[in-house]
Structure 1
Amino acid sequence: MTPNAASGPSRRSFLASTAVATAAVAGGVPLLSACGGSDGGSRDGTTSGKDAAKLLPSYVAASVVTPDIPSKNGSAVGFTGKLDLADLKTSVPEKLGKGGRVTVMSPFWGSPPKEDNAYYKAMNDLIGVDVVWQNQDGNTYDQKLGAVLASSEVPDVVVVPGWNMTGKIPSAIIGKFADLGPYLSGDAVKEYPNLAAIPTDAWQRSIFGGKLLGLPMPSSYVSGIVPLYRQDVFEKEGYEVPRSCDEFMAMAKDATNARAKRWACLDMKWTAFNAFGVLSGNEKSLGWNQVDGKLVYRAETDEYLEALEWTRKLFAAGVVHPDAKLGKSNAADPGPKFAAGEFLVYNQDISQWWSRTAEQATQNPGFRIWGMDFFGHDGGAPTLWAQNPASIFAFVNKKASKSVIRDVLAVANVTAAPYGTKEYMATNYGVEGTHYTVKDGVPTKTDQGNIDVMNAYVMVASPAATIAHPDFPEVAKGQVEWQQRTGAVTRKPTFYGMQIVEPARYTNLSNDFEQLEDDIVRGRKKIGDMQQAVSDWRNKGGDKLRDWYRKLLDENGPAAG
């Protein structure tokens, strides 16, 4: 986690301070569960409805700590108060670990700490399990994952991010990992109260091959991408926060002065998709929705083309920063130029709302970043589409003994402890004095903390989505309330929350759309090129893939209510 931050609404925000932030949000990867059929050896499909209900753990809300802002409309819970270490609650009164040894393979971004570091020692003592980390480079994790899962030497626990579930990995998950249902389904989960407090939607995403296999990382289902803007400049210049596409264009033209090195925005394609109500491109299954009895894919819709055309007009009007024109908006850190006022609005992960605030607090005290509400293209309420409520999972080796499985669940029960508990502080901040200090109720990581307390234990399981910034409580409040307003106009598409694997023959079918989108909005290609690409997509398998999803829907029913 980033210093001073306790923001865990998604893996995406966890990764936002790492080199792979863009990888986490870049686009659709096929995910899975299964209920029948086969293609190239993998089991295709999903598990939902009554079949899933039998597998899901009972939900028991956490009562140890009461958030300052409760979850609403799918938002994270929020904490705005200062942190009092003397008042931290205990959510795991007795060690559930039995002293066994558990090996965990997990992606890691940065330089892994020494194996015998104080953080690992303290956590293992707290849990009662000897966890041994096999950290792997997160940027090449898919390669290592494939090799390990194809071998006979699989660690006790393997962490798999959703964006790595490609190729043969989905079928390997079903074949290599243990059914956790006997330990967690129904009331069995109550032995692990912090796991019982994980939202049901996240557990639904943990069903693979008709069994409860994964320990999930819950996230808010509302958009993790926010149109972030310079609130201080808007107020100083008298700009109104736009409530329609026309208002955004008018503001953008007014704010842009190329001679003064100021442009309105970066590439606003993601905001355009939300303004026009385009189905999500975050995962392949979320790009489908049933409309008047027919399954429609996002790229087939008028709204999709309209969003691209509006974004193209922004580029054509010269209001987009030249870096984005060159395609640099996702590759380079936009922070310095945003702070310098070279552009006023950009799309990015919600975690940057806090991180930009924190980095500018001392050097640029007048700087204020805020989240712009999504607007409907015509000025009405937008139609937004839900993201999936979990995107990273930990799995237990199928060959693991019952004692090892229980030790893994003991680890997860500690790492899933809610904010405001001793277990949360230990998991996310380490040892007081060694890894962090607290001044005026604000925990700050030490240099050693930034070395040792990185993405390790948090990868096993986490609590319900949480936002807490004791250093900037107004930001925490703003983030949660933004999610609540966004959630109020967010709908769940037909295949929301399902783990789905598409047949292998369709894996690369839609791979070229994203590059074509970027070419169109930058004027290198035309809308007609996309219409042709969609026609080709249908002929090359899109219509057959639609039939496959229809069969899946007819057999299982929709997951969303």
Structure 2
Amino acid sequence: MTPNAASTSSGPSRRSFLASTAVATAAVAGGMPLLTACGGSDSGSREGATSGKAADKLIPTYVASTVAKPDLPSKNGSSVGYTSKVDLAALETSIPNKLGTGAPLTIMSPLWGTPPKGGCAYYKAVDAAAGTNVTWQNQDGNTYAQKLGAVLASSSIPDMVVVPSWILVSNKLPNAVIAKFMDLGPYLAGDKVKKYPNLAAIPSDSWRMSIFGGALRGIPMPSAPASFIMPYYRKDIFDKRGYSVPKSADEFLSWAKDATSAKAKVYACGDMSWVSGSIFGNAPGWNIDADGKLRYNIERPEYLEALEWTRKLFDAGVVHPDDKARTGDAGQRFTAGQILVFNSDTSAWYMKTAEQAHANPDFRIEAMDIFGADGGNPTLWASAPATIWSMIRKGASKATIENALAAANFAAAPYGTKERMLVDYGVEGTHYTVKNGVPAKNDQGNSEVINAWGMLAAPAPYFAHPDFPDIARKQAEWQQRMGAFMKKTSTYGMYIVEPTRYASLSSQFEQLQIDYVRGNKKLSDVQAAISTWRSAGGDKLRDWYKELLDKNGSGN
């Protein structure tokens, strides 16, 4: 259950945090080539990946949840959607018996805003329901990468740690994950997971991507394959000005020039880099292309085409100056009407609607269907089935392990259950009230029910907004439409640990792309960097990937 409008004031939610990894994934496709990160091999090596039959032996048995049949089933890799009101008096129980024993448990997790006080009413209520005794070590979400790196380099690891995928792009961190976190297979592999029914209901693809160093080490937050970055537009302003939604790269540029008025301080868009790769159909990371050749994303002509189109937008002056300077918040510029298009994850559709419901009742946000560059159908690439994990430190006692798994199982409760309601909203009367069947957080709910418990695990992907059910329908239907054009890369669903000698091979490209689209570098600089990448190890890394895919098979 997605928290209501009031909750948006407390900063990014778990869903926003989760979706921010989709931003990282889209950045790979749209012009920020980060090395594919991490995985493990069935031989116990810290390099490679585990997939196919070898992975099947390590993952939990899948047992789908039967709670709350969705109004919009998954289609073409979409999340499911719930658009009907939930009977809060008839919520089901997904955990009939407490699995926690009350043993102490420390958890490190990112959090935005002011952390709730230890022992607050929300923490007490969830602990009481789950049978846990959690001490939260909440860290600033904006600097979590630095904190996680420092903790993994130390000898003092909390019992449970939330680990996001985009932080693992450094090859030192995957190795640290393998060294510092335990194999969960003895507790979750095969039918063992049935002790934890909510974890058993997490899709198998998400578990397969939770294998590091040949062992199941992560409890995943699953992602829908059709979780693409969305190009949002101000539908209210489009309607008022009679704009048509662009359907090709050239149409977008033409519209953007018409819509921009620097004098009025209104610009067509923010930086379109995050979606340009999707428009031009470039596969993220490594993929065996239609001609049978294995390429990295920066080697394809679509990569340069996406960069050149993005640069045209900057050169035409249709991108807001603050986006060019990389300052401020594009989302705030969007709601203020200073830009009419911006890119973000699926959560922005609800969050912006809820945020503006009272401040600007005329505000309408929609997501453009992603178009192919030439106006035809797009070629889209499936998102990773897992992007964030919670992990348990090696050496933890049996009591600690069992309580950590009990906590994750509680956090993964499906939509339509008492446990999901408690995690997302807290206690009725204390943290929220119900009006016309819709829960709404009060001030205490906004200060205490933020995103700590929701970071440990999640159910199969879904959209549900009791206060704005139409948004859930639109989100699901958009993913269904776009998923019809989706393909999977050769490395889909694998968490791959590359050899450390290639760790910095692609590090220059992110800044180079930022500089190029803003006119500070030449196309020849990008082309030279690609040539250097090949000679400095890219071609050898290709050979390594060929061997990996020969051994593991293709992810598509």
Instruction: State if a TM-score over 0.5 links the two structures.
Output: yes
How far apart, in 2, do the equivalents of 1:343 and 1:124 lie? 44
Instruction: State the Cα distance separating 1:218 from its structure 2 match.
Output: 0.8
Corresponding residue for residue 275 of structure 1: 279
How far apart, in 2, do the equivalents of 1:340 and 1:348 lie? 16
Corresponding residue for residue 199 of structure 2: 195
Corresponding residue for residue 307 of structure 2: 308
Instruction: State the Cα distance separating 1:305 from its structure 2 match.
Output: 0.9
More off after superposition, 401-410 vs 460-469: 401-410
Instruction: State the Cα distance separating 1:188 from its structure 2 match.
Output: 2.0
* Paired residue secondary structure (2:221): strand
Q: How does 1:116-131 map to 2 (within 5 A)?
A: 116-131=119-134
The 3 A distance-change label for structure 1 pair 293 and 368 is same
* Paired residue secondary structure (1:260): coil
The 3 A distance-change label for structure 1 pair 169 and 497 is same
Corresponding residue for residue 482 of structure 1: 478
Corresponding residue for residue 234 of structure 2: 230
How far apart, in 1, do the equivalents of 2:482 and 2:414 lie? 24
How far apart, in 2, do the equivalents of 1:117 and 1:395 lie? 25
The 3 A distance-change label for structure 1 pair 25 and 55 is same
2:370 to 340, 355, 374: 374
Instruction: State the Cα distance separating 1:535 from its structure 2 match.
Output: 0.5
Q: How does 1:321-340 map to 2 (within 5 A)?
A: 321-324=320-323, 326-328=324-326, 331-340=327-336
Q: Does 1:164 align with 2:136?
A: no
The 3 A distance-change label for structure 1 pair 11 and 380 is farther
Residues 465-518 of structure 1: CA distance to partner in whole angstroms, max 9, x if unpaired? 121112111111111111111111111111111111111121111122122222
Corresponding residue for residue 435 of structure 1: 431
Q: Does 1:77 align with 2:76?
A: no
Instruction: State the Cα distance separating 1:54 from its structure 2 match.
Output: 0.8
Residues 41-71 of structure 1: CA distance to partner in whole angstroms, max 9, x if unpaired? x811100011001112121111021122111
1:102 to 102, 105, 128: 105
Aligned residue identity for 1:311: T
The 3 A distance-change label for structure 1 pair 511 and 2 is farther
Aligned residue identity for 1:551: E
Instruction: Tell me the TM-score normalized by structure 2.
Output: 0.92
* Paired residue secondary structure (1:73): coil
Instruction: State the Cα distance separating 1:277 from its structure 2 match.
Output: 0.3
Instruction: Tell me the TM-score normalized by structure 1.
Output: 0.91
The 3 A distance-change label for structure 1 pair 11 and 242 is same
How far apart, in 2, do the equivalents of 1:347 and 1:150 lie? 35
Aligned residue identity for 2:295: V
Aligned residue identity for 1:15: F
Q: What is the total number of aligned residue pairs between the two structures? A: 546
Q: Is the 8 A contact 2:23 2:229 kept in 1?
A: no
RMSD: 2.6
Instruction: State the Cα distance separating 1:24 from its structure 2 match.
Output: 9.0
Corresponding residue for residue 298 of structure 1: 297
Aligned residue identity for 1:14: S
1:34 to 32, 37, 40: 40
Residues 397-438 of structure 1: CA distance to partner in whole angstroms, max 9, x if unpaired? 221233332222221111101112110011111111212222
* Paired residue secondary structure (1:104): strand
Corresponding residue for residue 181 of structure 1: 185
How far apart, in 1, do the equivalents of 2:143 and 2:515 lie? 27
* Paired residue secondary structure (1:43): coil
Aligned residue identity for 1:503: P
The 3 A distance-change label for structure 1 pair 342 and 457 is closer
How far apart, in 1, do the equivalents of 2:299 and 2:377 lie? 22
Residues 58-86 of structure 1: CA distance to partner in whole angstroms, max 9, x if unpaired? 21111021122111122111111234321
How far apart, in 1, do the equivalents of 2:386 and 2:165 lie? 9
How far apart, in 2, do the equivalents of 1:109 and 1:368 lie? 26
The 3 A distance-change label for structure 1 pair 533 and 137 is same
Instruction: State the Cα distance separating 1:540 from its structure 2 match.
Output: 1.2
1:86 to 89, 97, 116: 89
Q: Is the 8 A contact 1:5 1:468 kept in 2?
A: no
Corresponding residue for residue 16 of structure 2: 14
Q: Does 1:549 align with 2:545?
A: yes
Corresponding residue for residue 352 of structure 1: 348
Instruction: State the Cα distance separating 1:449 from its structure 2 match.
Output: 1.6
Q: Is the 8 A contact 2:60 2:200 kept in 1?
A: yes
Corresponding residue for residue 386 of structure 1: 382
Corresponding residue for residue 270 of structure 2: 266
The 3 A distance-change label for structure 1 pair 75 and 47 is same
Aligned residue identity for 1:344: L
* Paired residue secondary structure (1:241): coil
* Paired residue secondary structure (1:59): coil
How far apart, in 2, do the equivalents of 1:80 and 1:233 lie? 26
- 5+ residue gaps, structure 2, are none
Corresponding residue for residue 470 of structure 1: 466
How far apart, in 2, do the equivalents of 1:345 and 1:147 lie? 38
* Paired residue secondary structure (2:92): coil
How far apart, in 1, do the equivalents of 2:360 and 2:226 lie? 31
* Paired residue secondary structure (2:433): strand
How far apart, in 1, do the equivalents of 2:271 and 2:145 lie? 29
Corresponding residue for residue 513 of structure 2: 517
Instruction: State the Cα distance separating 1:181 from its structure 2 match.
Output: 1.4
Q: Is the 8 A contact 1:4 1:443 kept in 2?
A: no
Instruction: State the Cα distance separating 1:388 from its structure 2 match.
Output: 0.8
Instruction: State the Cα distance separating 1:219 from its structure 2 match.
Output: 1.2
Residues 520-543 of structure 1: CA distance to partner in whole angstroms, max 9, x if unpaired? 222222222211110011111111
* Paired residue secondary structure (2:540): helix
* Paired residue secondary structure (2:230): strand
- 5+ residue gaps, structure 1, are 281-285
More off after superposition, 210-219 vs 450-459: 450-459
Q: Is the 8 A contact 2:171 2:497 kept in 1?
A: no
Q: Is the 8 A contact 1:74 1:487 kept in 2?
A: yes
* Paired residue secondary structure (2:325): coil
1:243 to 231, 243, 247: 247
Corresponding residue for residue 213 of structure 1: 217
Q: Percent identity?
A: 58
Q: Is the 8 A contact 2:42 2:50 kept in 1?
A: no
The 3 A distance-change label for structure 1 pair 151 and 361 is closer
Aligned residue identity for 1:309: E
